[in-house]
Amino acid sequence: MQYACVRFICLNKSVTLISETELCRIVDGIFEDRDSIIRHNPLGSAEEILMWMLMSSLVVYLNLEEMETPCFTGRPDAETYRKAIEFILRDRKTAPFDEKPLLDKLSVE
């Protein structure tokens, strides 16, 4: 009997998509709970914390693999998180829409 050792990487072949309506629902939920989110995650400005929460929520919602999840060098700021969110959404929308107004909602303090 012969044995072979094969190395491979399993990537998520089924891509989960998100609609504008669903992204709006997630952003609205974060916005409604923003005081509690900020109070329990004191890791930066309010905008940084809310963008971090949205990015983290999208990673889970869209079932991103480790290789698909944005990683950062240095300390990310709100703009870094915003760009990461835009990158995540780029090819994962059910139909084209502009996410910027939704992201702007989390920028209001």
What is the b/e burial string over 60-77, where b = at least 16 CB atoms within 10 angstroms of the residue's CB? Answer: eebebeeeeebeeeeebe
Torsion angle (degrees, nearest 10) of CA 96, 100, 102, 108: 180
DSSP 69: S
The number of domains in the chain is: 1
Q: Does residue 2 lie within any of the structural domains?
A: no
The residue range of the domain holding 100 is 20-107
Q: Does residue 52 lie within any of the structural domains?
A: yes
**What's the mean pLDDT in 65-94?**
92
Q: Does residue 4 lie within any of the structural domains?
A: no
Looking at residue 5, what is its pLDDT?
Answer: 46
**What's the mean pLDDT in 10-32?**
87
**What's the mean pLDDT in 40-69?**
93
Q: Does residue 56 lie within any of the structural domains?
A: yes
Looking at residue 73, what is its pLDDT?
Answer: 87
Q: Does residue 5 lie within any of the structural domains?
A: no
Q: Does residue 28 lie within any of the structural domains?
A: yes
Looking at residue 6, what is its pLDDT?
Answer: 45
Q: Does residue 14 lie within any of the structural domains?
A: no
Q: What is the pTM of this model?
A: 0.84
Question: Which band of pLDDT confidence, cut at 50, 70 and 90, is reported for residue 8?
Answer: very low
